[in-house]
Amino acid sequence: MDRKRNIYPRTDIGWKDFAFLLLALVVTFILIVSLFFIGKAEDTAANWARHAREVIQTSERLLTAAQNTETAVRGYLLSDSKSFLEPYQKNLLKLKNIRIELAKLTKDNQQQQINIKNLEKDISNIATINNKFIASGGTTEDLRKQKFAMDSLKHHVSQIQQLETSLLGLRTAQAETAWLLKWTMQVALLLGTALAIIIGMITLRKVIKTNEKYIYTLEQARDEAIAANKLKSEFLANISHEIRTPMSGILGLAELLTLENLNKDAKNMAENIFISAKNLLNIVNDLLDFSKLEANKIQPDNIAFNINEVVQPVCNNVLPEVRKKSLELDVSIDPEIPATMIGDVARIQQCLLNLVQNASKFTDAGRVMISVMAQEASQNSLKLLFSVQDTGIGISSEFQKHLFEPFVQADGSMTRKYGGTGLGLSIVKKLVKLMKGDIGVNSEEGQGSRFWFSIPVEIEQKGEENDSNS
């Protein structure tokens, strides 16, 4: 396999993609901002146009009110009827009010203010002459003056209207231009946004494609690694299996040799061969178990068993070591544990044996305690909690974190002093997990350790036992 292969594929996204995307976004942003200001300008122009129209209409109303006063005065003079006086007064008041209204409307236009001032004079003249007519009747000169005042008022109204009409044209044109610009901008904004979306989607597609390639390459690398690992585990399993057969031969013959009538040195050598071969077989067996577990080639069995069948052989196995070191070996079994349970007895025993072997191996004085308890018991099942406690060398909290990893031992000197491969606990952990159980440790350096594991097992029902017996 090419170890240096770069698993990060080269991306298809270039700076041009980002530049386009950025450009489209900037253009869209500028369009949105411009649209906002153009909208405001259009509103202002439209408002001013409305205002100019209002001034024209108001001045028109002023002219009508002035004509109405004149008509009312004429009616009074011709008929001498006082009924004309009320409409006269009303229209005169209206005339004055409309002028004030006009003055307010045009207060920001100096030219119009001059016209309004002239209007004020006209209205005052009209009122004076008309009042004179009503009070004492007028002369021909007064009639001329009245006509002159009315003409002057009409002239000034017309000036006001002309000015507003020219402003109206200008503002309407401005509003129309703004309106046109707004729509053009809106269409441009729509196109700009569409462009930004398209460029964004193209870039996104490239990102997705690159990611897909990346994931694919990673998956490929992972599959290759898994396949290689499986191959390695299978090779290890095969080779361990192959080594076991000649090893059994060596072990058998070495044992036979120790029973022969040999001189002391030769007997010593034969015994050493036997012990070394036995240790070697243990290592090979561990390697075989480990590689089988790695390759998922072990399935848990379900066999009926009694707890003593698990504990007794384990005690027998470590008894020589325990006696050699003058350790105490205590066993406590919970009386609540049912007589017959169903589980993978061989694997449970293998786990317990590993822990008890470790306890007796790493304890030079004191005792090793084995206890089995029933937990979470129901009618059909329970959890068997195995715990192995010792008064040995203990384990530092730093090392405890790596305790269940394969080929891990406390330190190099440990390997030389106690031997072993560092596979035992990792095999136990894998087996416990295979049986859906849990495992843990409490330990303090120099104070001893307590290893525990719990395994769910089924309780064999009486009826089943009878059935199987019959």
Contact code string over 374-413 relative to ligand ATP, x by CB under 6 A: ----------------x-xxxx-------x----xxx---
**Contacts (CB under 6 A) with ligand ATP, residues 325-354:** 354
Stretch that binds ligand ATP, among 204-212, 233-241, 265-273, 417-425 (CB under 6 A): 417-425
- Nearer of residues 258 and 409 to ligand ATP, judged by Cβ: 409
Smallest distance from the beta carbon of 311 to ligand ATP, in angstroms? 18
Q: Judged by CB under 5 A, does residue 424 bind Mg ion?
A: yes
Least CB distance to Mg ion at residue 423 (A)? 8
Between 31 and 425, name the residue whose CB sits nearer to Mg ion.
Answer: 425
Q: How many other CB atoms sit within 10 Å of the CB of residue 69?
A: 23
Nearer to ligand ATP, 285 or 306 (CB): 285
CA-to-CA distance for 248 and 64, rounded, in angstroms? Answer: 132
DSSP tag of 385: E
By 3-state DSSP, what share of the chain in percent is helix, strand and coil, each rounded to 5? 70, 10, 20
Tokens encoding 340: 């017959």
Q: Position of tokens 């009926």?
A: 304
Stretch 330-359 residues interacting with Mg ion (CB under 5 A): 358
> Binds 359, which of ligand ATP, Mg ion, none (CB < 5 to 8 A, cut-off by type)?
ligand ATP
What distance in Å separates the CA atoms of residue 363 and residue 418, rounded to the nearest whole number?
A: 11
Query: How far is 274 from 122, CA to CA, in rounded Å?
Result: 141
**How far apart are CB 428 and Mg ion at their closest, in Å?**
8
CB 315 → ligand ATP: shortest distance, Å? 16
CB of 418 to Mg ion, least distance (A): 9
Closest separation in Å from C-beta 399 to ligand ATP: 7
Burial class of residue 116 (count of CB atoms within 10 Å of its CB; 0-12, 13-18, 19+): buried
For residues 228 and 151, give the distance between their C-alpha atoms in angstroms, rounded to a whole number: 112
Told to check if 359 binds ligand ATP by CB under 6 A, we report yes
Q: Which of 422, 434, 461, 464 binds ligand ATP (CB under 6 A)?
A: 422
- The helix/strand/coil state of 1 is coil
DSSP assignment letter at 416: H
Which residue, 323 or 417, is less far from ligand ATP as judged by CB?
Answer: 417
Site size with ligand ATP, rule: CB under 6 A: 23
Q: Which stretch binds ligand ATP (CB under 6 A): 64-72, 88-96, 256-264, 416-424?
A: 416-424
Q: Which does 381 bind (CB under 5 to 8 A by kind): ligand ATP, Mg ion, none?
A: none
Distance CA 172, CA 164 (A): 12
283 CA to centre of own chain: 48
- In the 8-state DSSP scheme, what is residue 403? T
Token look-up 């170890």 returns 3
Does residue number 289 form part of the binding site for ligand ATP (CB under 6 A)? no
Amino acid at 92: L
420 near ligand ATP, judged by CB under 6 A: yes
414 binds ligand ATP (CB under 6 A): yes
CA–CA separation, 352 vs 148, rounded Å?
130
Q: From the list 138, 192, 343, 424, which residue makes contact with ligand ATP (rule: CB under 6 A)? A: 424
Which of residues 28 and 360 has its CB atom nearest to ligand ATP in the complex? 360
Does the protein bind ligand ATP through residue 439 (CB under 6 A)? no
Quick one: which of 423, 431, 435, 455 contacts ligand ATP (CB under 6 A)? 423
Strands (E), 227-289: none
Q: How far, in Å, CA of 22 to CA of 199, rounded? A: 10
Q: Which residue, 258 or 357, has its beta carbon nearer to ligand ATP? A: 357
CA pair distance 447, 367, nearest whole angstrom: 12
Element (H, E) at 173: helix 140-259
11: DSSP letter: P
Q: Which residues bind ligand ATP (CB under 6 A)?
A: 286, 354, 358-359, 362, 390, 392-395, 403, 408-410, 414, 420-426, 449
Q: Which residues bind Mg ion (CB under 5 A)?
A: 358, 424
